[in-house]
Chain A
Amino acid sequence: MTTASHRRPLHAGPIVIYALLLIASVVYLTPVLVQLVTGLKSFQEVSLSRMWQLPKSLSFESFAKAWSGAYQGLTGLSVNFMNSVYLTVPATLISAALGSMNGYVLAKWKFRGANILFPMLLFGMFIPYQSILIPLVRVLQDMHLYGTRGGLIFVHIVYGIPITTLIFRNYYAAIPDELIEASKIDGAGILGIYALILFPLSLPGFVVVMIWQFTSIWNDFLFAVIITSKPSLQPITVALNNLAGSFSVEWNVQMAGALIAALPTLLVYIFLSRYFMSGLLAGSVKG
């Protein structure tokens, strides 16, 4: 390992560095390429050839099958894809709004008890969900939310509060107090300050938090599999796992399904990767 050149170019360095970076890139991209290559083959071709050979002719048959084809006891993924959309969008919006308000109060309004709330949120962020599953199911049953989409949205909001609050708290802490003091003198209340000053300033913060929540809710499996048991209500991660577990489903269809499930978060990542990275750091380091 000859390492990077800080201001000082090394002679053999760059070649070795690029070689290593390229090897790592190949390792990283292989799984997606395999999915694409297999997903674009027809069934006859999959059974004849190896996973690695490029398809002779492009076939979107497997994507169509994964999207709408019905298998024994499984519906096409289109239903579950839309379930994930109906689940992820409201849960993301509501938890971002809640996180922003809580973060604002924690960062800018010193009140008695603030010191207790912060460790409580940290606890909520780090508990293994196995420790709360059984009581959670009971509470949802009592609320008549068990097995419903509303129930799952509720759970994602509840367990999204710590991370969204902490990201916004860090964000608001960087906004100078003078700005807030000035508008207090002008007679603005807690809500006015939020609406007029902090909310407009925190739009980038909203992007970071919403990407974070969108990704983690879309990708969640544990809550989804525990709370929704009806296949017609299950989000796409659960449906994909069922699809892969069913022996009657061909490889090409499974791979196409995996790509369909990955697409929304991948697109968000590719187009908003800058915000995605700052979310990673904000969420996991400063927390």
Chain B
Amino acid sequence: MARLGTRVPNTPGNSFIHRHAAYIAVVPVLLVALCFYFGSTVWSLVMSLTASKIFPDMHFVGLRQYLRLFNDDLWILSLHNLVFFVLGSLGSLVLGFILAVLLDGKAVGERVFRTVYLYPLAISLIITGLVWQWLFNPSMGLQQFFRDLGLKNFNFNWVGDKSKVMYALILAAVWQSAGFYMVLSSSGIKSIDSEIWQASRIDGISKLRMYFEVIIPMMKFTFLTAFVLLSIGAVKAYDIIVAMTNGGPGGHSELPSYYIVDMYMYRHNIAVGASGSTILLLLVVVFMIPFGVVNLILKKRK
């Protein structure tokens, strides 16, 4: 027993289960983590070095699959789209922050507004994607609505237009997740000392200037966390593409996450898919670095 807790007094001699309970509880989790988190990732890494097609095959070919991957125009296009998608997803943070600021004055009905902005987080991205696909439908959706209102040249057929389809995905994604960044920003704003506001009142500094010159710089760690979360979210985005565009038209809304599943399931090329998934994992790791840096800084401060 003594080894388990730090300051455990001498308890009556316990059974084996009592003495080792912490380990007994943890071993299954440890095994799951080793097999299903690490083992599986390593297995995919190994697969990416083989000639596997529809079935796993242990014939090693070195980095040839990565060469094939990066010679595939569709993969390159999906990486371009991802950069665009990550940048566009920043819109969630901007919109979320603005909503948090607007709601910060403890406006009447604040709770109702919050509930409205957050509900998309409760529904599946498949549903979000379908609904937005309908809204973008040229003959039924927003385009027809505004044309009926008299704006004859209003063009909202973004899903069918290869140069605009990524904007359509970004719009739906921002609509879906801005509420989350509103909650995150709100908790960041609330953690700022109220004395700062009083000081600004005495000095006669305007609200707007306060936000831009004091509050936003003070919230840099909140924003960094938000950026990490939204870029990882963008790297993993899959459902919304399936529901809205299926990667089309002509791969112009394809993201790496979609490309990989397509490789596995429909193009039956496990090795190329696995190479793609290694790159995807690498991207997540890269995006997590700022997270670790922030944690280190915060720990040092304490």
Residues of A whose CB lies within 8 Å of any CB of B are: 1-8, 10, 13-14, 17-18, 20-21, 24-25, 27-32, 34-35, 50-52, 98, 101-102, 104-106, 109-114, 117, 120-121, 123-124, 126-136, 138-139, 158-159, 161, 165, 181, 184-185, 187, 189-191, 215, 218-222, 226, 237, 240-241, 244, 251, 254-255, 258, 261-262, 265-266, 268-270, 273, 276-277, 280-281, 284-285
Residue B130 at the chain A interface, CB threshold 8 Å: yes
What residues of B have a CB within 8 angstroms of the CB of A117 in the complex? 26, 29-30, 33
CB distance from B8 to the nearest CB of A (A): 6
A5 to B108, CA, bound (A): 12
Interface string of B15-34 (1 = CB under 8 A from A): 00110011101100110111
Q: Which of A114, A132, A222 contacts B239 (CB 8 A)?
A: A222
Q: Which of B66-74, B95-103, B159-167 contacts A (4 or more CB under 8 A)?
A: B95-103
Is B180 in contact with A284, judged by CB distance below 8 angstroms?
yes
Is A127 in contact with B47, judged by CB distance below 8 angstroms?
no
Is B56 in contact with A138, judged by CB distance below 8 angstroms?
yes
Residue B3 at the chain A interface, CB threshold 8 Å: yes
A152 to B253, CA, bound (A): 29
Is B119 in contact with A111, judged by CB distance below 8 angstroms?
no
A119 to B207, CA, bound (A): 41
Is A187 in contact with B11, judged by CB distance below 8 angstroms?
yes
Is A132 in contact with B115, judged by CB distance below 8 angstroms?
no
Is B115 in contact with A2, judged by CB distance below 8 angstroms?
no
What residues of A have a CB within 8 angstroms of the CB of B238 in the complex? 130, 221-222
Q: If A2-B208, A27-B175, A226-B265 touch, does A184 touch B8 (CB 8 Å cutoff)?
A: yes
A266 to B131, CA, bound (A): 15
Chain B interface, number of residues (Cβ within 8 angstroms): 105
Is A17 in contact with B105, judged by CB distance below 8 angstroms?
yes
Q: If A111-B22, A133-B261, A270-B115 touch, does A219 touch B124 (CB 8 Å cutoff)?
A: yes
What residues of A have a CB within 8 angstroms of the CB of B44 in the complex? 131-132, 134-135
Q: List 22 A-B contacts (CB under 8 A).
A: A1-B101, A3-B211, A4-B105, A6-B194, A25-B117, A28-B117, A110-B4, A120-B34, A120-B37, A123-B33, A123-B38, A131-B40, A184-B11, A219-B125, A221-B239, A222-B261, A241-B242, A270-B115, A273-B118, A281-B187, A284-B184, A284-B229
Q: Which of A112, A191, A244 contacts B243 (CB 8 A)?
A: A244
The 10 A-B pairs of least Cβ separation, nearest first, read A4-B105, A219-B124, A269-B122, A190-B21, A132-B40, A124-B37, A135-B40, A109-B22, A135-B43, A189-B18
CB distance from B230 to the nearest CB of A (A): 10
Is A127 in contact with B105, judged by CB distance below 8 angstroms?
no
Residues of B whose CB lies within 8 Å of any CB of A are: 3-9, 11-12, 14, 17-18, 21-23, 25-26, 29-30, 32-41, 43-44, 47, 56, 98-99, 101-107, 113-128, 130-135, 140-141, 144-145, 148, 175, 180, 183-184, 187, 194, 197-198, 201, 207-208, 211, 225, 229, 232, 235-236, 238-239, 242-243, 257, 260-261, 264-265, 270, 273-274, 276-278, 280-281, 284, 288
Is A51 in contact with B145, judged by CB distance below 8 angstroms?
yes
Q: Which of A105, A187, A254 contacts B22 (CB 8 A)?
A: A105
A236 to B4, CA, bound (A): 45
What residues of B have a CB within 8 angstroms of the CB of A222 in the complex? 238-239, 261
What residues of B have a CB within 8 angstroms of the CB of A27 in the complex? 175
CB distance from A63 to the nearest CB of B (A): 15
CB distance from B42 to the nearest CB of A (A): 9
Is A8 in contact with B208, judged by CB distance below 8 angstroms?
no
What residues of A have a CB within 8 angstroms of the CB of B260 in the complex? 130
Is B104 in contact with A6, judged by CB distance below 8 angstroms?
yes
Which chain B residue lies CB-closest to A193?
A: B21
